[in-house]
Amino acid sequence: MSTQKHYTGLIERYRDRLPVNETTRIISLNEGNTPLIQLQNIPRLIGKSVDIYVKFEGLNPTGSFKDRGMTMAVTKAVEAGSQAIICASTGNTSAAAAAYAARAGIKAFVLIPDGKIALGKLAQTLMYGAEIIQINGNFDKGMALVKEVAEHAPVTIVNSINPFRIDGQKTAAFEIVDELGFAPDYHCLPVGNAGNITAYWKGYKEYSTDSATHKAVTAKRPIMCGYQAAGAAPFVAGHMIDEPETIATAIRIGHPQSWDFAWAAQKESGGWFDKFTDEQILAAHKMLSQYEGIFCEPASATSLAGALHDIGSGKIPEGSKIVCTLTGNGLKDPDTAISQCAAAHPVTIEASLDAVKRVILDCL
Ligand code: F0G
């Protein structure tokens, strides 16, 4: 029999750096430990000598990075005796909240923008049994409502304004450093509500010191690059935006909650924010699938769209080691994927050897 210890989730793995003790009941679905995949074909295609790694967070239990934050937030909510959690969401947070609430045996209430949720996210959230409240308004409106409701009802907010969410999500930075043996030169992320860029920066900073002695173990931290959709880019505008719009519905956010923290990450790391059009985001989305076999959701590809742009312009120099976080799984948004491939619709033929052979020979 194998004596290898089974992977039990990120709280167990990074217990010494997370706010839990021996008596805490851990609510986990074995999240984290996601693959860091080095791109092989895209660097060759763009003719640049760079090492690009993608941290594929779409392989978490509910298909997004939100599981990292949710294991921690729900663990702490249960520890505090909470019977219900609530969040506003563009879809992934609601799916994660619903799953971890089901695991814990508590109730989840989720506020989602009417009609602006990718199909897979809605399907999951329904199956996990959350109370779904569709609102006539966008994510920012939902977030404002959730903050108000939590003052009047016995519910714990599990959006990333809950600091335990950030603590869970910072472990992605730990995993990257553990796997590479060092922090990358650049870390590229899609930015919406700005919790994740906050979490990664916190993680990189904390991991550069020893957890017991608090002595520095390395001085190296990455430059943080936060990329937004052009129609939803408050960090590029330098102010909040009231009517955000983008095909990347996960990041259709105009009033990010972690505003100050994200600016701190940018300033302290020497990084930058930039924005990319839906066309640029979708091009990166398709490129990842077709040249690397990696299917992420549209918002996730914003990190690669930004990295490729900045490598092309020389802002990210050759020789750099770059990590792009792919925040969610492509299966979350089948509609956008299929509409991206409209020209390559499946051929329908007679069910015969000859007909199939003809198709193959025509293609080769
Ligand atoms: N990528 C995906 C796939 C997301 O779902 C989100 C946020 C982000 C990127 C941006 O991360 O908000 O930490 O800057 N989704 C939230 C949600 C808002 O409700 O699922 P952020």
Q: Convert the pLDDT of each residue in 326-348 to its tens digit.
A: 999 999 999 999 999 977 777 89
The closest residue, in CA terms, to atom 15 on ligand 1 is 250
- Protein residue with its CA nearest to atom 6 in ligand 1: 250
Phi, psi for 54 (deg, rounded to 5): -110, 130
3-class DSSP state of 195: helix
Once rounded to an integer, what is the mean pLDDT over residues 167-185? 97
d(CA 334, CA 279): 17
The residue extents of the domains of the chain are 10-63+165-340, 66-162
Q: Are 277 and 301 in contact (CB under 8 A)?
A: no
Nearest CA to ligand 1 atom 19: 89
Q: Pocket of ligand 1, candidates 56, 70, 92: which has the most ligand atoms within 8 Å of its Cβ, to mutate? A: 92
* Nearest alpha-carbon partner for 104 in 96, 93, 92, 113: 96
Cβ partners under 8 Å of residue 214, min gap 6: none
Count other C-beta atoms under 10 Å from residue 199's C-beta. Answer: 27
Measured in Å, residue 109 CA sits from the centre of ligand 1 at 18
Is the confidence at residue 5, as pLDDT, over 80? no
Q: Check residue 2 and give its pLDDT.
A: 59
Q: Could you tell me which residues are beta bridge partners of residue 84?
A: 107
Q: What's the CA-to-centroid distance between 210 and ligand 1, angstroms?
A: 30
Q: What's the full length of the chain, in residues?
A: 364
- Please state the pTM of the whole predicted model: 0.96
Q: Mean pLDDT score of the chain, rounded to an integer?
A: 96
Instruction: Work out the average pLDDT over 140-168.
Output: 97
In contact, 291 and 178? CB cutoff 8 Å: no
pLDDT tens digits, one per residue of 197-225: 999 999 999 999 888 888 888 778 999 99
Residues near 295 by beta carbon (within 8 Å), at least 6 away in sequence: 58, 288, 289, 329, 330, 331, 337
Whole-angstrom distance, CA of residue 327 vs CA of residue 350: 41
Q: According to the CATH classification, is domain 10-63+165-340 in 3.40.50.300?
A: no
* Ligand 1 near 192 CB (within 6 A): yes
pLDDT at residue 159 greater than cutoff 80:
yes
- If you measure from the C-alpha of residue 82 to the centroid of ligand 1, how many angstroms do you get, rounded to a whole number? 24
User: In the chain, pLDDT over 70 holds for what percent of residues?
Assistant: 99
In terms of DSSP bridges, do strands 84-88 and 51-56 run parallel, antiparallel, or are they unpaired? unpaired
For ligand 1, is residue 329 a contact (CB within 6 Å)?
Answer: no
191 lines ligand 1 (CB under 6 A): yes
Q: How far is CA 275 from CA 229, 281, 301, 306, in A?
A: 5, 10, 12, 8
pLDDT of 354 over the 60 cut: yes
Atom 7 in ligand 1: residue holding the nearest Cα:
250
d(CA 344, CA 235): 36
Answer yes or no: is the C-beta of 162 below 6 A from any ligand 1 atom: no
pLDDT tens figures, 292-316: 999 999 999 999 999 999 999 999 9
Type and span of the H or E element at 163: helix 163-169
Closest ligand 1 atom to 169 CA: 13
pLDDT at 344: 74
Amino acid at site 252: R
**How far, rounded to the nearest angstrom, does the alpha carbon of residue 247 sit from its chain's CA centroid?**
16
90-106 pLDDT tens trace: 999 999 999 999 999 99
> Does the beta carbon of 328 sit less than 6 angstroms from any atom of ligand 1?
yes
Cα(251) to centroid of ligand 1, in Å?
6
194 lines ligand 1 (CB under 6 A): yes
Query: What CATH class does 66-162 carry?
Result: alpha beta
Biggest distance spanned by C-alpha atoms of the chain: 71
């015969």: which residue's tokens?
Answer: 352
Give the least confident one: 13-27, 83-97, 273-287, 342-356.
342-356
112, 205, 248, 249 from 219: Cα distances, Å: 41, 9, 35, 37
**What φ, ψ does residue 111 adopt, rounded to 5°?**
-100, 120
Q: Is 93 in the pocket of ligand 1 (CB under 6 A)?
A: yes
41: pLDDT strictly greater than 90: yes
- H or E element at residue 97: helix 92-104
Cα(356) to ligand 1 centroid in Å equals 43
Ligand 1 proximity of 250 Cβ (cutoff 6 Å): yes
Orientation angle between helical segments 92-104 and 119-128, nearest 10 degrees: 20
Same fold, 10-63+165-340 and 66-162: yes
State pLDDT tens for residues 227-269: 999 999 999 999 999 999 999 999 999 999 999 999 999 999 9
Comparing 1-5, 50-54, 59-63, 225-229, the range with the smallest average pLDDT is 1-5
pLDDT for residue 1: 55
pLDDT band at 4 (very low <50, low <70, confident <90, very high): low
Question: How confident is the model at residue 209, as a pLDDT?
Answer: 86
Residue among 196, 247, 326 to mutate when testing ligand 1 (max atoms within 8 A of CB)? 196
* pLDDT tens by residue, 54-85: 999 999 999 999 999 999 999 999 999 999 99
